[in-house]
Structure 1
Amino acid sequence: MSRKVLVTAGASGIGRAIAERFLGEGDEVAICDADPAAVTAFSDAHPQAVSAVADVTSDADMSAFLDDLERRWAGVDVVCANAGTGGPAGAIETLDYGEWQRCLATNVHGAFLTCRWAAGVMKAQGHGLIVLTSSTAGLHGYPFRSPYASAKWAIIGLTKTLAMELGPHGIRVNAVCPGAVEGERMDRVVAMEARARGQTEEAIRESYVKGVSLRTWVTARDVANSIHFLASEAGARISGQILAIDGHTETLAP
């Protein structure tokens, strides 16, 4: 029986990998993303999916998108609150308050708006799975990336709290914590951190690998496979858990 799956920031990167993993199983999938070009590309590749341009930090955008989705589907089985942004890099005293706010808004406020809707729909139907995307930065201190680390730690608190709040209604809530995921987004992060730390991009890349026990990066597919497992019958009793998909991060310190 096919499931109804929502993925925020689902038009590219980890979100697209998650959406495509469920589409590959024949599930009904809806994605939203703030990037119109990425949404168009996703829609062209997967016309059977519901695709919409929506900013997860906008209550109006999300209400319009989610209300429409609820009319289409009359329920949802899996919600992946995946939207996030890396935010600025630098010593705390150099950071701009506006950039701090934008990082927290996308990562935390976006998760709130998504989970608020999911909780109402899932309570009414008596079941569901919410998976939030945190990061290994939500498990460790992360020098020169304080906005991002703060946001991703907040996601862990939200996950644990919602697992307790929604569990009596048959709703499971978990978080995934990807490590350094290969792709264009991480390329931008590496370049940003190199500038902030006064190091070469090669040195930053080496530090990521050296800080991981398996000495490897992660793929978006690795993350998608883990979420698919959580949504499977094999994961039916897993809730309130923080699943690191990272090769075991030992440190994020330079």
Structure 2
Amino acid sequence: MLLKDKVVIVSGIGPGLGQHLAIHCANEGAAVVLAARTPDKLDAAEAAINALGLNTEVLKVPTDISDPDACTALVNAATERFGGVDVLLNSAYTGGKMEPVEDADLTDWRKTMDTNFFGSMQLSLAAVPSMKKRGGGAIVMVNTMVVRKAMAYNAGYGASKGALKTATAHLALELGQYGIRVNSAFMGWMWGPNVEGYVRQAAAEQGISEQQIIDGIAEHIALKRIPTDANCGKAVIMLASDYASEVTGACLDVNGGDFIP
């Protein structure tokens, strides 16, 4: 088990990647702290974990990571229940408005930055003291291929995640002396609720089949298929585990070869 006896916080619990990350953590032996703004999503993730039959210890904490006090309260709750935090998976995000840069609503960019950049950093900094006390830890930032490969109408989202990429590198450099590793996983297209919804909408708007939309996306991916969010989540777990004990400050592309440096 890659995370046996670890205490893991997963932010951004919801249908899709966040829930899969929580399930992977449970399967790998961790105690799981679930964080999301919506209690219903926390309940759904807890039910999915309980269905595994592993007797996983689960703590649910409604959290808006854009609120610094909420980030502190989340870590305090995890510490009170489990004694500390070993791993933080920063999966919470907002996509912001999809629009041309020349028509950008910069107020929306700031809101997107509050979650994707400041929120992820606030939660990371809240977790660091606990990790120091435990002699080390791992933080994984779930980032996006949009930072690596520009995509139309994603500038606000990409800018927020680009800032996170830069800060993550500095965090890795500074925290290494405490045994805390900080890495990023850059996700591309992932087959899950969000992409499924996009495919349905795009097919309806263009008057073609959903399979044609899927094929058009897969054509640009080296593996010729859209990776699933469940499988992409496994790369995040690897970075959080001792299998990556010598890895920090890394940028791992998890996109089936859609972007190859």
Short-chain TM bin: 0.7 to 0.9
Identical aligned pairs, as a percentage? 26
Aligned-residue offset at 1:190: 5.3
* Superposition CA RMSD, Å: 2.3
Gaps of 5+ in 1: none
CA distance in 1, matches of 2:213, 2:38: 28
2:140–2:240 contact (8 Å) kept in structure 1 = no
Residue 236 of structure 2 aligns with an amino acid whose one-letter code is I
Q: Do the aligned partners of residues 113 and 237 (structure 1) sit closer, same or farther apart at CA in structure 2, a change above 3 Å counting?
A: same
What residue number does 2:142 align with? 133
Aligned-residue offset at 1:50: 0.7
Q: Do the aligned partners of residues 24 and 242 (structure 1) sit closer, same or farther apart at CA in structure 2, a change above 3 Å counting?
A: same
What residue number does 1:33 align with? 36
* Pairing 1:12–2:15 present: yes
Q: Which 4+ stretches in 1 moved above 6 angstroms?
A: none
What residue number does 2:166 align with? 157
What residue number does 2:102 align with? 93
1:222–1:245 contact (8 Å) kept in structure 2 = no
* Pairing 1:186–2:195 present: yes
> Aligned to 2:223, what secondary structure does the other structure show?
coil
CA distance in 2, matches of 1:200, 1:169: 55
Aligned-residue offset at 1:228: 2.2
What residue number does 1:42 align with? 45
Count of equivalent residues: 248
2:143–2:165 contact (8 Å) kept in structure 1 = yes
Residue 35 of structure 2 aligns with an amino acid whose one-letter code is C
1:18–1:223 contact (8 Å) kept in structure 2 = no
Aligned-residue offset at 1:124: 2.5
CA distance in 2, matches of 1:146, 1:206: 25
What residue number does 2:125 align with? 116
1:8–1:82 contact (8 Å) kept in structure 2 = yes
User: More deviation in 201-210 or 147-156?
Assistant: 201-210
Could you state the TM-score of these two structures normalised by the residue count of structure 2? 0.86
Aligned-residue offset at 1:96: 2.1
1:181–1:220 contact (8 Å) kept in structure 2 = yes
Gaps of 5+ in 2: 51-56
CA distance in 2, matches of 1:21, 1:182: 17
> Aligned to 1:40, what secondary structure does the other structure show?
helix
1:156–1:175 contact (8 Å) kept in structure 2 = yes
Aligned-residue offset at 1:28: 0.5
